[in-house]
């Protein structure tokens, strides 16, 4: 499968891109940036991916002004969209507007959440019925509309990873590499050993069926 993946460091970071590529070793990747792509760039692409990173989702208008229409046309043709963290926020109606009635919102601002701070941490989720400690950095949840829940935040039951038709969104970071965990004293002992890469693989398989 050919995957077009967006890079605009640090908003859609090289670290997240590298983690996604490492997580999905059986696929081929085409990199694109904020610069205009050729009209036929997506002609051989099976899935478009927007990773996570540091920054404000409102940077969307600046970094996607040249390629927004290409992405919307790609998804309108029924092709899959994978968004992780920042990329998930951008599926919302304020940005790509590719969801049916569902809103993508900050998890930390919802009622009774288990954290109110956006900084990097591990957060408990249930993914396909199993508990995981997953890397979180101001990730999202989803309100309203109809979608399949693949994972949810354990303490609140808010959805964390969903699939709605050909759009798959993940609020946390299953692609997080070991150096993400080693960057903080409170996470370095909890590296998943690459097991969460398989979760991302299974998510992509389900999204592209």
* Segment 116-167, tens digit of pLDDT: 888 899 999 999 999 999 999 999 999 999 999 999 999 999 999 999 999 9
Determine the structural domain holding residue 66 and report its residue range.
2-104+142-152+159-176+194-207
Report pLDDT for 9.
Answer: 86
The two structure tokens encoding residue 117: 């701070």
* Segment 61-120, tens digit of pLDDT: 889 999 999 999 999 999 999 999 999 999 999 999 999 999 999 999 999 888 888 889
Greater confidence (172 vs 60) lies with 172
d(CA 117, CA 99): 27
In the predicted model, is pLDDT for residue 56 greater than 80?
no
Report pLDDT for 115.
Answer: 86
In the predicted model, is pLDDT for residue 58 greater than 80?
no
The two structure tokens encoding residue 89: 């926020």
Closest-CA residue to 48 (of 71, 26, 19, 67): 71
SS3 (DSSP) at 151? strand
Report pLDDT for 64.
Answer: 93
Is 48 part of any domain? yes
Task: Establish how many alpha carbons lie within 13 A of residue 3's alpha carbon, considering only the half-sphere containing its beta carbon.
Answer: 25
In the predicted model, is pLDDT for residue 10 greater than 90?
no
In the predicted model, is pLDDT for residue 55 greater than 80?
no
Count H helices and E strands in the chain, helices first. 6, 11
Is 73 part of any domain? yes
The domain tally of the chain equals: 1
Count CB-CB contacts under 10 A for residue 195: 10
Is 188 part of any domain? no
DSSP 39-93: TTGGGG-SEEEE---SS-GGGHHHHSTTTHHHHHHHHHTT--EEEETHHHHTTST
SS3 (DSSP) at 208? coil
CATH number, domain of 22, equals 3.40.50.880
The two structure tokens encoding residue 6: 């967006």
Is 18 part of any domain? yes
Is 54 part of any domain? yes
């Amino acid at each position: 499968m050919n995957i077009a993946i967006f890079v605009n460091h640090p908003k859609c970071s090289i670290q997240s891109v590298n983690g996604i590529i490492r997580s999905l070793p059986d696929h081929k990747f085409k990199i694109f940036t904020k610069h205009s792509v050729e009209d036929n760039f997506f002609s051989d692409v099976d899935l478009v991916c927007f990773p996570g990173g540091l920054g404000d989702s409102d940077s969307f208008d600046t970094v996607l002004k040249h390629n927004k229409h290409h992405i919307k046309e790609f998804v309108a043709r029924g092709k899959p969209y994978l968004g992780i963290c920042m990329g998930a926020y951008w599926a919302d109606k304020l940005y790509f507007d590719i969801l049916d009635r569902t809103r993508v919102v900050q998890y930390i601002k919802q009622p009774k959440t288990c954290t109110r701070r956006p900084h990097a941490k591990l957060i408990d989720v249930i993914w396909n019925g199993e508990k995981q400690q997953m890397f979180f950095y101001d990730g999202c949840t989803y309100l309203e509309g109809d979608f399949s829940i693949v994972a949810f935040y354990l303490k609140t039951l808010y959805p964390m990873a969903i699939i709605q038709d050909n759009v798959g969104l993940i609020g946390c970071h299953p692609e997080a590499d070991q150096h993400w965990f080693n960057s903080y004293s409170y996470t370095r002992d909890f590296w998943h050993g690459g097991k969460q890469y398989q979760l991302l693989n299974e998510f992509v398989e389900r999204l592209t069926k």
